[in-house]
A and B are shown apart, each in its own frame.
Chain A
Amino acid sequence: MGKGIWVYAEHKNGKVKKVTYEMLGAARQLADQLAEEVAAVIIGKEVGELASALGEYGADKVYVVENDALAEYTTDGYTRALAGLALEHRPTAIFLGCTVQGRDLAAQVAQRLQTGLCTDCTKVELQDGQITLTRPIYAGKAFVQVVCPEARPVMATIRPNVLPPAEPQAGRTAEVVMADDVQPGDIRQIIKEVVRQVSSRPELTEADIIVSGGRGMKSAENFKILEELADVLGAAVGASRAAVDAGYAPHSMQVGQTGKTVSPQLYIACGISGAIQHLAGMGSSKVIVAINKDPEANIFKVADYGIVGDLFEVVPLLTREFRRLLGKE
Chain B
Amino acid sequence: MKVVVLTKQTFDTEAKITLDAQGKINPEGVSLIMNPYDEFAVEEALRIKEKTKGEVTVVSMGGPKAQDVLRQALAMGADRAVLITPELEEMDEYTTATILAKAVSRMEYDLILGGWRAIDDGSAQVAGRVAEILGLPVVNMVIKLEIAGGKVLATREIEGGSEVVEVPLPVVITAQKGLNEPRYPTMKGIMQAKKKPMEKLALSDLGLTAEEVAPKVRALKYFLPSPRAQGKIVPGEPAEAAAALVRLLREEAKVI
Q: Which A residues form the contact surface with B (CB < 8 A)?
A: 12, 75-76, 99-101, 103-104, 106-108, 110-112, 114-120, 132, 136-151, 188-197, 199, 203, 209, 233, 251-252, 254, 257-259, 261, 265-266, 275-277, 283-284, 286-289, 295, 300-310, 313-314, 317-318, 320-322, 325-326
Contacts and interface: CB of A to CB of B under 8 A. Distances in A.
B153 interface: yes
Given A145-B221, A289-B245, A104 B140 contact: yes
Give the interface size class of chain B. Answer: 35 or more
Nearest to A254: B177
Contacts of A145: 219-223
Nearest to B18: A142
Nearest to A109: B132
B245 A277 contact: no
Nearest to A17: B159
B206 interface: no
B225 interface: yes
Given A138-B17, A188-B168, A266-B249, A115 B231 contact: no
A300 B233 contact: yes
Nearest to A202: B160
B149 interface: no
Given A120-B123, A257-B119, A277-B14, A12 B245 contact: no
Contacts of A132: 220
A141 B98 CA distance: 28
Interface string B118-159: 011111110011011100011111000000000001000111
A142 B17 contact: yes
17 contacts: A107-B93, A111-B133, A116-B93, A137-B222, A142-B223, A146-B220, A147-B218, A150-B216, A188-B171, A189-B166, A194-B161, A254-B177, A276-B16, A286-B255, A305-B253, A317-B243, A318-B245
B217 A146 contact: yes
Contact of B217 (A103, A118, A197): A118
Nearest to B25: A142
A100 B242 contact: no
Grouping DSSP codes into helix (H, G, I), strand (E, B) and loop, the B interface class, with mixed when no group exceeds half, is: mixed
A293 B247 CA distance: 21
B63 interface: no
Contacts of B157: 100, 252
B153 A192 contact: yes
B162 A195 contact: yes
Contacts of A148: 216-218
A284 B178 CA distance: 26
Contact of B120 (A103, A107, A137, A287): A137
B125 A142 contact: no
A129 to B, nearest CB: 14
Contact of B234 (A190, A197, A305): A305
Contacts, number: 253
B225 A188 contact: no
Given A142-B223, A305-B253, A192 B231 contact: no
Grouping DSSP codes into helix (H, G, I), strand (E, B) and loop, the A interface class, with mixed when no group exceeds half, is: mixed
A307 B241 contact: yes
B163 A75 contact: no
B97 to A, nearest CB: 7
B162 A317 contact: no
B219 A287 contact: no
A143 B128 contact: no
B238 interface: yes
Nearest to A12: B159
B94 interface: yes
B31 interface: no
B250 interface: yes
Nearest to A304: B231
Nearest to B117: A103
Given A145-B220, A188-B137, A258-B177, A111 B132 contact: yes
Given A12-B159, A137-B121, A251-B177, A307 B220 contact: no
Interface centre among B157, B164, B168 (most CB of A within 10 A): B164
Interface centre among B97, B178, B216, B219 (most CB of A within 10 A): B216
Given A112-B132, A149-B218, A199-B160, A119 B124 contact: yes
Given A142-B222, A317-B238, 17 more contacts: A108-B129, A111-B94, A111-B125, A116-B217, A136-B122, A142-B19, A143-B222, A145-B223, A146-B220, A147-B220, A190-B165, A257-B13, A259-B177, A283-B228, A305-B248, A305-B249, A322-B246
B14 A191 contact: no
